[in-house]
Amino acid sequence: MVEATIHANEKKAREAKADDRRQKQKAERRQERENRLSRQEQERARKEAVRARKAAERIEREQETRRKKRDAAFAWIAELPKLTHAARLKEAAARLDEDFEILQQEFEVYFAARTLPEDLEPWPEPVSTAELLGAIEAKFRRYVVVSDAIAAATTLWAVFAWVVEIAVHAPKLLFTFPEKDAGKSTALGVLRWIVPRPYFAVEATGAAIYRIVDRLKPTLLLDEADTLFERSTVLAHIINASWTNGGQKIPRVGPRGEVVEFDPYSTQAIAMMGLNIPGTTLSRCIVCMIWPKLPSEVVDDFDECDDEDFKIIRRKLARWSGDNAIALRSAKPESRFNNRMQKNWKVLLAIADLAGGGWPKRARDAALELETDRDEPSEGVRLLAAIRDLIGALIEVTSAALCKALAADPSREWSNFRGKGPISQAQLAALLRPYGIRPVTLHPTKRADLTCHGYRRSQFENAWARLLQKPSKDPNIRTSHADRAFDGDGNTDRGLHGGEAVSDQRPLGHQAESKIVRRG
């Protein structure tokens, strides 16, 4: 019995050992198979990588060969008269089996790079900011007659162009006048030899401008921009997108259907007759109105050429930008401006503060002079300003009384609104609706004939504070315009600052009925 039990146990042990050996051999075979498959996969991957590398090298060699042939063609065509460029580019496109439009755009980038001034060695010694600004202003005013405000803004902007990479926003410098022969093009020509990598974008297409800005990072100079904006909406889009240094890219479809992204951030100086450009573009500009010079205002004739003085200025700017860019990046200059105006002038004011002396005050005075009352407010903003002037100290006003008061002055647009008579309650409501201001029921009663609709002062206060607070040249001028009130019949009454005030808090319209009007 004992021996049988022992034999049974030994048999079970042998069977278990055999089973373990089989499982181990099975696992070894599985691992060997997996290793073999892995080696095969690695070998396939290696061969695929070799094939891909060889294919990439072949494509690169082909592209390099095509590039050399294209550059050789570009170099030959660039020496020919401009009138022959299009015809020669078509011949080169056919010969090189290239798309003509793409080849033309690449040629414009190539040709633009040839026009950039040569890189100069930076000035060997540290440069005084104040002395540099003085030299730039003197050189600019040697050829152009401008006001002190425009001279200061132009000088600071020219220096800013050398440190544009550290800024979050790049304002555009815009020279304008409604008539020709005012010196706009001359101002642009002088700046050409002061700013870094200047490029006159005369007939460049939108697609070419994308490539030129992305690759060369030039300072774009746009002369006769009034005609350019009429011909190309792409130009306005580029200028708007180039205002912010936020890393955003503009996607475009490439010649083979691939998506190509371009970085539009750059600086531009613009010369044009009038201001017929989109409002969004205009708000990104520092606008300088250059008047024709008087016979008594004598300046040197500008020959459009570089000279030794310009080269010295550029060398000093190259040294100055390297020494001061980091400090300007973190600068937070004080200003009385807000929103886009503050962003346009931030770095310019920081440069003026860095110069010291009279430059900080001069820069802020120039900003006030050039920006105050520069833009024509929209119809809605004009209405808000008119209502603020009329409401005075009233807390509520009926729609009917407000319309009557607006139309009371025959010299204002509301007396003959859009050429169709006095402004109506419906038109008033339509103009105020986009600002979130809608008529409300004032002092509702059970009698329908005494219930009226109108507006409460509190409805306007947010819009007034945000839209009507513009910088003033006189720091003592009050920002509140509540110097006019009107009585219960909608008639205007001046003199809130002179001791007379309408203090009744009931809605205008009910005042006339109840005669509750107190004057203190």
Q: What is the pLDDT of residues 402-435, one digit of tens each?
A: 999 999 988 888 988 888 899 999 999 999 999 9
Question: Do residues 501 and 396 share a domain?
Answer: yes
Q: Which pLDDT score is estimated for 204?
A: 58
pLDDT over 70 (residue 518): no
Torsion of Cα atoms, 431 then 437 then 443 then 447, to 10°: 50
Query: Is the same domain home to 175 and 194?
Result: yes
- Whether residue 515 has pLDDT greater than 50: no
pTM: 0.66
Give the residue-averaged pLDDT of 188-212.
82
In a domain, 116, yes or no: no
pLDDT for 347? 95
**Shared domain check, 362 and 237:** yes
Question: In CATH, what number is assigned to the domain containing residue 348?
Answer: 3.40.50.300
Res 311 pLDDT > 90 = yes
Domains in the chain, number:
3
Tell whether the model's pLDDT for residue 468 goes beyond 60.
Answer: yes
The answer, yes or no, to whether residue 232 has pLDDT greater than 70, is no
What tokens were used for 121? 């060695």
Of 343, 371, 399, the one marking the end of a domain is 371
Nearest residue to 185 (alpha-carbon basis) of 224, 155, 145, 159: 224
Quick check: is 142 in a domain?
Answer: yes
Residue 395 has pLDDT above 90, yes or no: no
Instruction: Tell whether the model's pLDDT for residue 54 goes beyond 70.
Output: yes
One domain, residues 389 and 350: no
pLDDT value, residue 285: 92
- Cα(194)–Cα(207) distance, rounded to whole angstroms? 27
Per-residue pLDDT at 133: 97
Regarding whether 237 and 204 lie in a shared domain, the answer is yes
Mean pLDDT score, 100-128: 81
List the end-to-end C-alpha distance of the chain, in Å, as a whole number.
Answer: 129
In the DSSP assignment, the letter for residue 244 is B
Q: Which of 80-89, 175-184, 202-211, 359-368 is most confident?
A: 359-368
Instruction: Name the burial class of residue 235, with classes exposed (0-12), middle (13-18) and buried (19+) by CB atoms within 10 angstroms of its CB.
Output: buried
In a domain, 362, yes or no: yes
pLDDT given at position 102: 80
Vertex 141, ends 275 and 304: CA angle to 5°? 80
Per-residue pLDDT, averaged over 124-152, amounts to 95
pLDDT at position 490 is 46
Mean pLDDT confidence for 7-32: 85
Q: Is the pLDDT of residue 121 over 70?
A: yes
Which residue among 349, 371, 393 closes a domain? 371
pLDDT of amino acid 131: 96
Tell me the average pLDDT of the chain: 82
| Total residue count of the chain as it appears in this document | 520
pLDDT value of position 429: 93
- Sort strands 172-177 and 285-289 into parallel, antiparallel or unpaired: parallel
pLDDT confidence tier of residue 508, bands split at 50, 70 and 90:
very low
Q: Quickly count helices (H) and strands (E) in the chain.
A: 18, 12
Same domain, 366 and 391: no
Containing domain of residue 60, as a range? 33-98
Q: Are residues 67 and 206 in the same domain?
A: no
Instruction: Tell me which residue of 368, 363, 371 sits closest to 284, measured CA to CA.
Output: 371
Higher pLDDT, 88 or 186: 186
Helix (H, G, I), strand (E, B) or coil at 343: helix
269-299 pLDDT, tens digit per residue, is 999 988 888 778 888 999 999 999 898 988 9
Q: Are residues 67 and 147 in the same domain?
A: no
491: tokens are 């008639």
Q: Are 458 and 394 in contact (CB under 8 A)?
A: no
